[in-house]
Amino acid sequence: MSAIHPLEQAYQKAAKDPEARADFYQMLVKSTVFVVGRQEPPEKEGQAPHVHLKQWQQPDGQTALPFFASAESLKKVLPGDEPTLTMPVVDLFRLTRGTTVVFTTPEGAKSFLPDEVEAILAATLTLDPLALALLRAARENSEDAKKAFYAALINSQVFVRGRPRDDSQRKPGPETRSLKENDQFILASMPHPHIEGQKILPFFSSLEHLRTFVRADDTYLSFPALAFLSMAAGMDVPLVLNPGFEPHKFFTREEIEFILGTARPEPFEPRHFKPGGQVSLGPPEVYPQELVGALLDFLPAHRQVKAAYLTAMREETAEARPILVIGFEGEGELTEMFRGAAELVEQYGADGQPVDFATVRPGEEGLSRYFLEKVRPFYLRPTQRNRNGEKIEKDESGPEGVGRESCGQAGFFGRLKRIFGGGSEKQ
């Protein structure tokens, strides 16, 4: 006699004890289940494969799609030679949206109606900062929460169904595109959920929200939120953030015009790391001599900058190349300096090398403490004094892991390289 599958055990317990239902749902969304069906290869390269799932008619005349915890349970309920597939429950629910699906066991069954499926899918999402800000604004209905939502919106990247108007170079299948000058796009609308005959333009706070909402083979695009709002403002179609989820938000034309007229986005996008991930810091494998030289020419004109530091940050589980992190210790507002430094990164940074900026604050934990205690600055403001109170008339700095002698002329050599390379000298 075979043992009962753990998911079937959880279901049996939940059927008798309401307090056990949460455990069943948690196990369910993490499970891989069995269905009757077959998969055919895609017609074109890059497209999703075609999946055909078999449904059965229920006593009330409606059709439903059964799924099973194990192949053994499937054969007990549906003996025969039907082809079977395995897939994660979340993928099954996304694929069969609008259909009643039935968790079927030899001892009983649990039906999931479309509304319950949507609620389960929504509960599996990891809320991004914009979705969290929207949730807080909906729950609290306070001015502070609303301001926080708008601040999150104008600094976010959003996702929308659509494609470039000229997509002759586009490969088949889903695509993420960022907005470039003179680009034109065709954006997908959908029926208004409350007003018959009208349309809405949906957009989403994360790729996960969008993928949960649309078909697997839909094309999608990504835009900075303000660029998207500006592009969509003249379409005379209501915009809806995260439709199909709770909460979602409708935007009126007046609201969009107000946002576009008053928004002041932050100049840079914050970087988020996955909870529990391991991040290591250390000297870069290849020291960015030309970029450092450009910064050494640039920073003396920004007297509010006391020191600048450089390190490399790597996620232990990531395959991407390490991120260069430049830390600036300063006094007062550094936003304009950041903008100028970002232009230098674009001009003199290595191709494909990600670069982040950080503000170094004495007494602060994290990167600030690391820079101040472990890294020698590559730039010191000329009027800065050393620990003995002596005035420093010229730069004594050097890169992390490199002696001062090897970096003292970085700005000079960087200038020479740019001059002989045809670039202009930064004053």
Under the banding of pLDDT at 50, 70 and 90, the label for residue 224 is confident
Are residues 167 and 73 part of one domain? no
Same domain, yes or no, for 182 and 296?
A: no
pLDDT tens for residues 34-51? 999 988 876 655 555 678
End-of-domain residue from the set 65, 94, 123: 123
The total of structural domains in the chain comes to: 3
pLDDT higher than 50, residue 411: no
Q: Residue 73 falls within a domain, yes or no?
A: yes
Indicate whether 252 and 286 sit together in one domain: no
Q: What is the largest CA-CA distance in the chain?
A: 91
pLDDT score for 409: 40
Indicate whether 154 and 213 sit together in one domain: yes
| Residue 113 sits in the same domain as residue 149 | no
Inside any domain, residue 270: no
Q: Flag whether pLDDT at 100 surpasses 70.
A: yes
Same domain, 241 and 305: no
Both tokens assigned to 269: 């996008």
Q: Strand pairing of 190-191 and 199-203?
A: antiparallel
In this prediction, residue 48 carries a pLDDT of 58
Last residue of a domain, one of 234, 262, 290: 262
Does any domain span residue 148? Answer: yes
CA dist 101 and 63 (Å) reads: 9
Output the pTM of the full model.
Answer: 0.46
Domain boundary among 262, 287, 318: 262
Distance CA 412, CA 305 (A): 20
44 plus 169 within the same structural domain = no
Query: Residue 398 sits in a domain of what CATH number?
Result: 3.30.300
**Helix 253-262 with 225-232: angle, nearest 10 deg:** 130
Instruction: Note whether residue 274 is domain-resident.
Output: no
* Stretch 133-143: mean pLDDT: 88
Residue 117, domain extent: 6-123
The verdict on 180 and 294 lying in the same domain is: no
**Is residue 272 in some structural domain?**
no
Q: Is residue 269 part of a domain?
A: no
Q: What is the pLDDT of residues 9-21, one digit of tens each?
A: 999 999 999 888 8
Residue found by looking up tokens 């001059």 in the block: 419
Chain position carrying tokens 């982040």: 356
> Looking at the structure, do residues 116 and 161 belong to the same domain, yes or no?
no
Residue 268 lies in a domain: no
Distance, CA of 28 to CA of 23 (rounded, Å): 8
- Name the band, by pLDDT with cuts 50, 70 and 90, for residue 67: very high
Q: With contact defined as beta carbons under 8 Å apart, do 161 and 214 qualify?
A: yes
Nearest-angstrom CA–CA distance, 288 and 35: 54
Same domain? For 286 and 398 the reply is: yes
Is residue 108 domain-shared with residue 14, that is, in the same domain? yes
The one-letter amino acid code at 307 reads A
Answer yes or no: is 168 within a domain. yes
Q: In terms of domains, do 42 and 159 share one? A: no
